[in-house]
Amino acid sequence: MSPLFGNEPFWVVALKAVLIFVILVVYTLFNIWFERRVVARMQHRIGPNVHGPFGLLQSLADGVKLALKEDLVVKAADKVVYVLAPILATIPAFLAWAVIPFGPEAKIPFTDTVTPLQLTDLPVAVLYILAVTSVGVYGIVLAGWSSGSTYALLGGLRSSAQMISYEVAMGLSLVAVFMYAGSMSTSEIVAAQTDLWYFLPLLPSFVIYVIAMVGETNRAPFDLPEAEGELVGGFHTEYSSLKFALFFLAEYVNMVTVSALATTMFLGGWRAPFGLSQAWGGALNEDYWPVLWFLGKTLGFIFIFIWLRGTLPRMRYDQFMSFGWKVLIPVSLAWIIAVAVIRKLRSEGSVDQELLVWAAVAAGVVLALSFLLPERKSKDEPEPVEPTEPDAFAGGYPVPPMPEGPTTREKREKEVRR
């Protein structure tokens, strides 16, 4: 095999690739059911409970329904790009999982082969994930452009601006992790969190990443590209049948991908929770137990997505973009500088771990205050004009005296300026 996959035989690499694809699809179908059940519970409803036990087969039934629907192609669409756009949006979401570690080495059942529970690893694995997932925005933009619809085009433009803006904040939030771990390899980052998960000393980076991952995946309250009241359905307004199902699948796979990356970078990856890692001589971090811990942690992030969708209203577009560029990115840059300075001082023995924790708490407070404090608006109010005596012969013609105060037109202009 290629050095990219080590010295493993081809059938092992192919088996792991197929298993990752199957697990990801099944896990995504489960998350769709999980979201509908949780939102239903929040709204005092029952949710899906007909197809299969507890409604677990509801997502599969929805997929069959979409497959049997009529596949329409609008007359004004660019047919080639229109068909390729859903594929271009879906494939990058799966490719990112090539470097996500599910666990340490484990023995393949019914064989004597021992292999890492990871398809491959790269020295720049996290950079690879960010690069691959950012390609998915091309599918969304091309879908909006090729549909021949104004609503779809506006949705595609919104999505591209949103994903590019929050990709910057997401990348900056991970720089502190690279400095702490000394590597961009996902397996080495997990190994560096043996004693302490990074979400605690790098709390601001963790908070910024969680906010950015919601904006990156176009999920509520940041689902502006699909705002029903403004853009009907956004970039997939003109899509139906399996092409729409691919967009739907890509959205949920991306949710799982960013959740898996957060688990790997901040929550110790596949390691068991605190108190269980050292139990029974570390047996819970061996064989296939780590897969259970990994999926459980990602499910926690999926619940955060669902919780935000069920509780928060959609943000205004200008507020959302302003928050990304004026709050998240400056705070990320300031935090990177602080971490670099503290790491340098620690290397010289001038500071201890406690200072970094307090700095993280202070940065978290500043980030929280940025949510709570209202934004100051500069009001360019016109200078007040002193009232004058009405001229009964204005323009040379006798006119009735107008009441003092601003006219209706002036009131409207004043409201617009506000």
State percent of the chain over pLDDT 90.
33
User: Tell me: the pLDDT tens digits for 252-284?
Assistant: 999 999 999 999 999 998 998 877 777 776 778
Q: CA angle 201-206-208, nearest 5°?
A: 130
Confidence of residue 105 (pLDDT cuts 50, 70, 90): confident
Count Cβ atoms below 10 Å from residue 88 Cβ, excluding itself: 20
Output the pLDDT for position 367. 64
Least confident of 90-94, 117-121, 225-229, 332-336: 225-229
What does the pLDDT look like over 221-246, one tens digit per residue?
A: 888 777 666 666 677 778 888 888 89
The pTM assigned to this predicted structure is 0.81
The answer, yes or no, to whether residue 116 has pLDDT greater than 60, is yes
**What local confidence, expressed as pLDDT, does residue 256 receive?**
94
pLDDT band at 302 (very low <50, low <70, confident <90, very high): very high
**Which one of 16-20, 215-219, 341-345, 347-351 scores highest in mean pLDDT?**
16-20
Q: Which residue has the higher pLDDT, 69 or 2?
A: 69
- Mean pLDDT value across residues 318-342: 89
Buried b (16+ CB within 10 A) or exposed e, 345-382: eeeeeebeeeebeebbeebbeebeeeeeeeeeeeeeee
Judge whether residue 399 has pLDDT over 60: no
CA distances from 331 to 209, 210, 287, 367 (A): 12, 14, 40, 7
Tens of pLDDT, residue by residue over 38-65, are 999 998 998 898 888 989 999 999 989 9
| Average pLDDT rounded to a whole number, residues 337-346 | 84
In whole angstroms, give the CA distance from residue 221 to residue 238: 23
Of 24, 35, 87, nearest in space to 58 by CA:
35
pLDDT the model gives residue 16: 92
* Cα–Cα–Cα angle for 210, 215, 218, rounded to 5 degrees: 130
The two three-digit tokens of residue 104, written as one number: 């340490």
What's residue 172's pLDDT?
93
Check pLDDT > 90 for residue 407.
Answer: no
Specify the pLDDT at position 353.
Answer: 61
Q: According to the model, what pLDDT value does residue 36 have?
A: 93
Q: Would you say residue 251 has pLDDT above 80?
A: yes
